[in-house]
Amino acid sequence: MARNHGPSLVPATYSKSQQSVAHESSPAIAMSHSPDIPGAQDTEIFRVALEVLSTGVALLDRQRKIIFWNDGAEKITGYHRHDAVGHTIQANILGQCNGASCVHCGATCPLSQAIHEGKPAEIQGYIHHKAGHSVPVRLQVHPIRDQHGSVVAVAQSFDEEGASTEPDFHENSLAAHGCLDAVTGVPNHAFTQSHLRENLAFFEEYHLPFGVLCIEVGGMDELRATHGREAVDVTLHVVAQTMKHALRPHGFLGRWAESQFLAIFTNCASAGLERAAQNVHKMANCSGIQWWDDQLSVSVSVAQAMVQSGDGMETLLQRAFNALGKSLGKSPAVTASSSEGQASAGS
């Protein structure tokens, strides 16, 4: 028996002999008529059902041109239907990142494998949002076959990993109380400092372990000199939003200084902190910003430190920033008591 590779466009009204030919290569999508649903015989009702799903659904032809794009796809990627339908993914729509490198329909792209090999795939990766940041998703790719078993299209479905309405509610509350940084959209220096003090108090009283990541976005001085302050702000916003998605739902991210961020992981062991650092580094460095005719690249450095007995804010952050300075080959630029960092982060 041949292995099933994906759904086919075989209507339920085909004869048994005709259906059996297609079924040898892939299962058919059977659609029964319902007397309770007016117009159920019209396939338009199935299109409407797909359009309103919160799961992102896209249909692409063999030339990788998008021919269907639903509400979920709009919400997850930021691209509206008129941005997507009729365009190919080479236009950076549905551009994917596997966590190690950015993939645009190369040999390892699951879309290419579905088209050329007829194989379905399911991966955890990242989709580039229209705003520039990366969104972690679980992506499923299925080849669509005609009645002869030939691949004529590819269906993709994707859901945002760790998505929840709670973070949005929390962020709206923080914004209303002036706790968010205006440029990056993440908690500002003062709130981040307060959150760190809270974790230190919990550690002192309950010995609840936690760790911090010190993150520096490189090249901002050069970017300001060549493209201006606005380009720097947009870049920092994209990187911050990418890291925020990467850290959900377990990590806290705040802006610490001009080009530095602090992530805090409560009840976290050293191995978990190491994995988080690697994930943040991979995702942030995959961020891409289209600035007029230029594609701006991003370089991010990450260092980590676990809380130790007797630590205060100064000693914990000094240890983390020293590690960051060593990775960059320079002295740490910001410590817990840096008034310059507080001022710049709040601007």
List per-residue pLDDT tens for the chain, 347 residues long: 444 444 433 333 333 333 333 333 444 444 455 555 555 556 788 888 999 999 999 999 999 999 999 999 999 999 999 999 999 876 566 765 544 444 444 556 788 888 989 999 988 877 888 887 778 888 999 999 999 999 999 999 999 886 554 556 678 889 999 999 999 999 999 999 999 999 999 999 999 999 999 999 999 999 999 999 999 999 999 999 989 988 888 899 999 999 999 999 999 999 999 999 998 998 888 777 888 888 888 899 999 999 999 999 999 999 999 999 988 876 555 544 444 444 344 44
Element holding 51 (H helix, E strand): helix 44-51
Between CA 156 and CA 139 the distance in angstroms is 7
* pLDDT of amino acid 125: 79
| Strands in the chain per DSSP E | 56-61, 66-69, 96-97, 102-103, 121-128, 134-145, 151-160, 210-218, 251-257, 260-266, 289-291, 294-296, 299-306
Closest C-alpha to 53, from 161, 159, 141: 159
Crossing angle of helices 229-247 and 220-227, rounded to 10°: 140
Q: 85: exposed, middle or buried (C-beta count within 10 Å: 0-12, 13-18, 19+)?
A: middle
* pLDDT of amino acid 170: 76
* pLDDT of amino acid 189: 97
Q: Kindly state the tokens that stand for 302.
A: 């990450």
Between CA 114 and CA 153 the distance in angstroms is 9
Q: 266: exposed, middle or buried (C-beta count within 10 Å: 0-12, 13-18, 19+)?
A: middle
pTM assigned to the model: 0.68
Place of tokens 């590690």: 323
Between CA 258 and CA 297 the distance in angstroms is 18
Angle at 38 (CA atoms; ends 36, 44), nearest 5 degrees: 125
Between CA 69 and CA 81 the distance in angstroms is 6
Number of other CB atoms surrounding residue 326 within 10 Å? 12
* pLDDT of amino acid 284: 86
Q: Which CATH class is domain 165-345?
A: alpha beta
CA of 163: how far to CAs of 46, 146, 166, in Å? 26, 35, 9
- Tell me which of 1.10.15.40, 3.30.450.20, 2.60.120.590, 3.40.50.1100 is the CATH number of domain 16-160: 3.30.450.20
Biggest CA pair distance of the chain? 78
Bridge partners of 87? none
Outline which parts of the chain fall under CATH 3.30.70.270. 165-345
Between CA 282 and CA 98 the distance in angstroms is 9
Outline which parts of the chain fall under CATH 3.30.450.20. 16-160
Is 251 in contact with 222 (CB distance < 8 Å)? Answer: no
> What DSSP character marks residue 236?
H
